Amino acid sequence: MDPRVSQKPEKATEEDKKKRRHKQRTKRTITRAVTHIRLIEANPGKLAALDQMMAVYLPICQRYVILFCTAETPPDKYGDPVFESELSNRLHRVAMQQAAGIAKSWRTNRENAYQAYLEDVADYVQAKAKAEAEDRMSAFKRTEPTWNEWHVPVLRVPVIQANANVVVVEQSKDSTFDYWLRVSTLDKGTPLRVPVKLASYHKQVLKERTINTSTTLHKRNGVWWLTLSCDEDVPLQTEPSAPVVGVDVGIAHFITTSTNKEYGSFHGKMARQHKRDREKRRRKAKLRACLEKKGASADKLPSTSSASGQRLSRHVKQEINRAVNELITDHPDARLIYEDLNVASMRFKARSMNAYLYASNLAHIPEQLAWAAGQRGMAAHTVWAAYSSQECPRCHFVDRANRPNQKTFKCVVCGYEDHADHKAAVTLAGRWGDRELAACRDKREVKALLLKRHDVWKQQQQQRIECADPPVQLSFWDPPEAFWDPSQVLNSSRMRELHRVPVVHPADESAVG
């Protein structure tokens, strides 16, 4: 077997694990990417060889993406190759690894979205049954959730995520170039050598650092680009006693903290820009469909990609970065707790909200948080986000009904009320160090645990009321209106029974049972 084909790594030993844990306690490793290195110094003949390789590489990678996305079992990047190819074994393995990476994140996102859909269905069925039982179907307006199967990713941009088995970065010996890339091609045994010249800002980042062995090559607008990266260890600055600050990610404000501060927003100018852009794209798509019907050739059709859309997306990212920086400036000594945000499963009632969600690049927020905190040696941890917007911080009751609208949290059991985003941030902060919760394997287990805690709360309430039971002097005791039924002749035991009923919000009857 070729020793330079990637092999499955050996399992980490106890010793390795111990070392890793120690490092996690004292340091943060951040990876800096050095992007936009143009490979323009190479002669056209060399780059043509790269094009030829990519012409074989990309279709193979795509076939594996389809295979890995649709297979029953999770992708195995070290499995036996299943497709015939002109590629060398090493390139073939790299294609499989790249495809497995794409398929893995696609499968996770799809699965999360599907679980969210199943929950929606269960919630809908329950609500419908309740409406039927109470004979108010005429007022039941909810539509049954539907599932649209996801498309398997299509690789459009020629890109190879390479390792040292197929692309090697060599320090240049003369001063004309900074590095040479040695790239495997279809012509086995004669690798391609491509010169690399760095800009001064590239050199600044790489100064005195070791370049990682993984590299990325991609082609856009007829130009080949190289991405390099290097790791940096940053000593952890956060004290063990640092205040814990929960961070909720949302639409109204990009970030809301448990310290009751808000940063960044998609509303205002950006939302207007987004709306204009959406209308423009819709018009273009209509025109396209119309021209296609008339048989116009493909190259005459208006493009569906939108420059203003890309501009907006960049703008949103800048705003997010600014919001994250402000958050960190305001909480320099804190330990940040945020949600492992799963955009696919975030649901919004309004349809237009989904477009907002997409445009606002919410997923960029946790990435930026992790990066900005890591760079400063700040502790930042993710916790289970499931039901963080629905759980009551006082009684742990979990239900959609606790969110009468996007802005408000109001527990239907104990009446606890707060601004929804602030409450979610407080809940996230509280989940840090919660081992029982961290041990849950899926959302269902999270919900079961929270409802178990709610039961404990209910029992405690009951005991508290019992303890507070005054000596039996029934004649002085005035039962609350809600439990007073004058038609019943109450004997003392019945009275006491009533007395023990925990005080619940009147609207909650169904939720408790």
Binding site for Zn ion (CB under 5 A): 392, 394-395, 397, 411, 413-414, 416
* Cβ proximity to Zn ion, 219 vs 458, nearer residue: 458
* Cβ proximity to Zn ion, 78 vs 416, nearer residue: 416
CB of 104 within 8 A of CB of 170? no
Cα(126)–Cα(477) distance, integer angstroms: 39
Cα(107)–Cα(412) distance, integer angstroms: 36
- Token pair in block for residue 223: 């130009």
Q: What's the min distance (Å) between Cβ of 411 and Zn ion?
A: 3
Q: What's the min distance (Å) between Cβ of 410 and Zn ion?
A: 9
* Cβ proximity to Zn ion, 28 vs 431, nearer residue: 431
Q: Which residues contact 160 (CB under 8 A, 6 or more apart)?
A: 54, 57, 94, 95, 98, 166, 167, 216, 217, 218
* Cβ proximity to Zn ion, 380 vs 414, nearer residue: 414
* Cβ proximity to Zn ion, 94 vs 398, nearer residue: 398
CB of 301 within 8 A of CB of 204? no
* Cβ proximity to Zn ion, 324 vs 398, nearer residue: 398
Work out whether strand 335-339 and strand 262-263 pair parallel, antiparallel, or are unpaired: unpaired
Q: What's the min distance (Å) between Cβ of 402 and Zn ion?
A: 8
* Cβ proximity to Zn ion, 217 vs 395, nearer residue: 395
Angle at 63 between CA 59 and CA 67, to 5 degrees: 170
**Beta strand residue intervals within 393-435, DSSP E:** 408-410, 417-419
Cα(449)–Cα(455) distance, integer angstroms: 10
State the Cα torsion 108-110-115-117 to the nearest 10°.
160
Q: What's the min distance (Å) between Cβ of 462 and Zn ion?
A: 15
Q: For residue 398, give the nearest of 436, 449, 442, 459 by alpha carbon.
A: 449
- Token pair in block for residue 499: 């007395």
Strand partners, 218: 159, 225
* Cβ proximity to Zn ion, 206 vs 413, nearer residue: 413
Q: Where are the alpha helices (DSSP H) in 134-262?
A: 200-206
Q: What's the min distance (Å) between Cβ of 430 and Zn ion?
A: 14
Cα(364)–Cα(321) distance, integer angstroms: 9
Q: What's the min distance (Å) between Cβ of 394 and Zn ion?
A: 5
Q: What's the min distance (Å) between Cβ of 502 and Zn ion?
A: 12
* Cβ proximity to Zn ion, 183 vs 395, nearer residue: 395
Angle at 280 between CA 277 and CA 285, to 5 degrees: 125
Q: What's the min distance (Å) between Cβ of 480 and Zn ion?
A: 19
The SS3 assignment for 389 reads: coil
Q: What's the min distance (Å) between Cβ of 449 and Zn ion?
A: 16
* Cβ proximity to Zn ion, 128 vs 403, nearer residue: 403
Q: What's the min distance (Å) between Cβ of 130 and Zn ion?
A: 20
Q: For residue 247, give the nearest of 88, 404, 107, 432 by alpha carbon.
A: 432
CB of 184 within 8 A of CB of 202? no
Q: Residue 334's CB: how many other CB atoms inside 10 A?
A: 24
